[in-house]
Chains A and B, each alone.
Chain A
Amino acid sequence: MTVRPETLAPSAVGLRPVGRFGFLRTQRAASIGLILPALAYLALMTQAPFVLTLWYSFRQWVLTSPDIPHKWVGLSNYTYELTQDPIFRQAIYNTLELTAAIVGGSLLLGLAFALLLNRSFPLRGVARSLMIAPFFVMPTVNAVVQKNLFLNPIFGLLNWIMTSVGFARIDWLAVHPKLSIIEMAVWQWAPFMMLILLAGLQGIPDDVREAARIDGAGPFTEFRRITIPLLGPYFQLAVLLGMIYILQLFAEIFVATQGGPGTATTTIPYYIYQTISQANDVGSSSAQGVLAIIFSSIIAALLLRLLLRTFRSGVTA
């Protein structure tokens, strides 16, 4: 078995040393043959549509008026969305506000869950399973159940508890629509954050904690000086992945508020859905889609850089 030196990769982050599986190295052509179908399929199904979205975004194109030619209108869809359309600006703001609140809320709750679970106690496995379960619940089920069984102004469980202890009845989805959406999504996403942070907590070596205790650190000092700094990369990973998913939040809004009342919970994904399925406006919705892609790429790139920097410089307090 010959190992051609030019195929030796510089060992990249997260990759095992190349030499270990050197004996398995097949012909380069065979190797490409194994990987190419997957890459071509991914490009066709996930990247080609983005290119088409970009193409459509320069056109005036309304599905309900097929006789009007799909005229090339340059950047006018973009100038309309960015300077004139008040709902799109509202949607950007709503998306940012909801994403920040949901990521922040589920991170804090997930940290609390993880700290509670990171001890040995009877029935730990059961407690962990119960805490994880919300993450698997279909988002439409989450929204439909919480909207009716829990948040309904008359028959909802939450209002029964509130009025029983003397508070006023609240129509949560009408009066606090954002808070309701945040609550639904935090319930769903806290277990996700918990899983990542729990893995981080379990990776902190016992002798580090031991050393801190010997040096006289109490539980709070230990938490602040050992646990939080050593969890740093895990926090960043949780925030990065959480943001990528939560920016796309759609089912909860579709089911629970339909973007309302008014445009109070209209986010970018929901507004794009409205523009294409209700206004049938291909040009405008495509421009919104391109802006959403740019928007997400900026956030993903910023966070990825943050992540890489942390891993490169080591963990600091």
Chain B
Amino acid sequence: MTRRLLTGNGAAAWGARLAATDYIPAFPITPQTEIIEDIAAWIDIGDMPARMVTMESEHSMITAAAAAAASGVRVFSATSSQGLLYGMEMLYTVAGWRAPFVLVNVSRGLASPITLEPDHNDIMAARDCGFLQLHCATCQEVLDSTLMAFRLAEDARIRLPVIVNMDGFYLSFTREPVEIPDAGAARRFVGDYDPENVRFRASSPVSQAVAVLGGAPYSYFRYESHLAAQKGLAVYDDLSAEFAERFDRDYPAIEAWQCEDADIVLVMLGSFATKARAAVDRLREAGHRVGLLRPRLLRPFPAETFRSLLSGKAGVAVIDQNISMGMGGVLHSELAGALYGQPDMPPRLLSFIGGLGGRDISMEEFFEIAATTRKAVEDGHTPPPRLMYTEQELREIRKLQAVASVEREELDNSGGLNNE
């Protein structure tokens, strides 16, 4: 076992390699990532006995991935942000095929306006498609989760595709020490892909082009996918325990940091949650009983585990790095749904939205989130959701708008706009 500096992209590629992936369909252009470049280079020099085919879009890439998985080979692919959205129609379609494969998404904010930096609106858009979702916070976790994702996807009880999600820049371009598991040990953990009855052969054709169904039979298939996704909770617990035993790295469905005696708990997804972890350490030094929960599994949603970890807590602050226009933070709503009406649940559940388009969440902001939650607990009053934005940030926007409005006046005066 070697420990070396590796980016999140590099870690994902190593995951695909160690899982002995057979086939990698890839859209090769922006917003594709270095994950595919690394794999292509390995295939080229003979280090990875796999086949890569470049496709003309993410839509085709996801179709090819599921079609290949249905033919009985192990499939990996990767995309990011707008690419994930471009493939959205097929994400929903292929999940229903029940052909398992692993897709890595490098999370970045969506247009418009355009950004290259991370947030979770892309992956949240894929929340309801039927893919299971594993969310990573470190480069090591990206590699390990990719291995675990194959086990989860291919499990006979589940047989659904899995997305492994990592944040753009904060993981994808960031190097950290990563332990690359021994190839044999990784191979033994992941095991062989047993495609069972999905296996398509020339001698025994199978069609995924199911006839148009009415409500009741349609519902049957949708419900069955949902039930399979929910089985993922138990399957994940087993396989992550096995992973911990083999590799000595533990990845529970929800990572709990300093939660046991905490009154106030922060809840956050992805790599920004490590910043929250650092903030919790500082807050503990200052004598505050604050903890952090970081769900690794978003689909299936570990509602029962959340309830048991949050039972008896005084206040919870959910920090969403996404925004559902007209509603707010997605994770906040989901957690509220899981906790509402259950016994011993925290009386205060606060919502904070931040980190959109890579906007930093400072250490002081984490302290303030904890302080606001503490105050809400003391006052017995839940404040409205906080869109994290500072006076200084608005000042800078107002300055740009002032410049733009002078430009516009000049255009108006010169008749520039009237020509339209």
Does chain A bind chain B? no
Q: Which of B's residues lie within 8 Å of A, judged by CB?
A: none
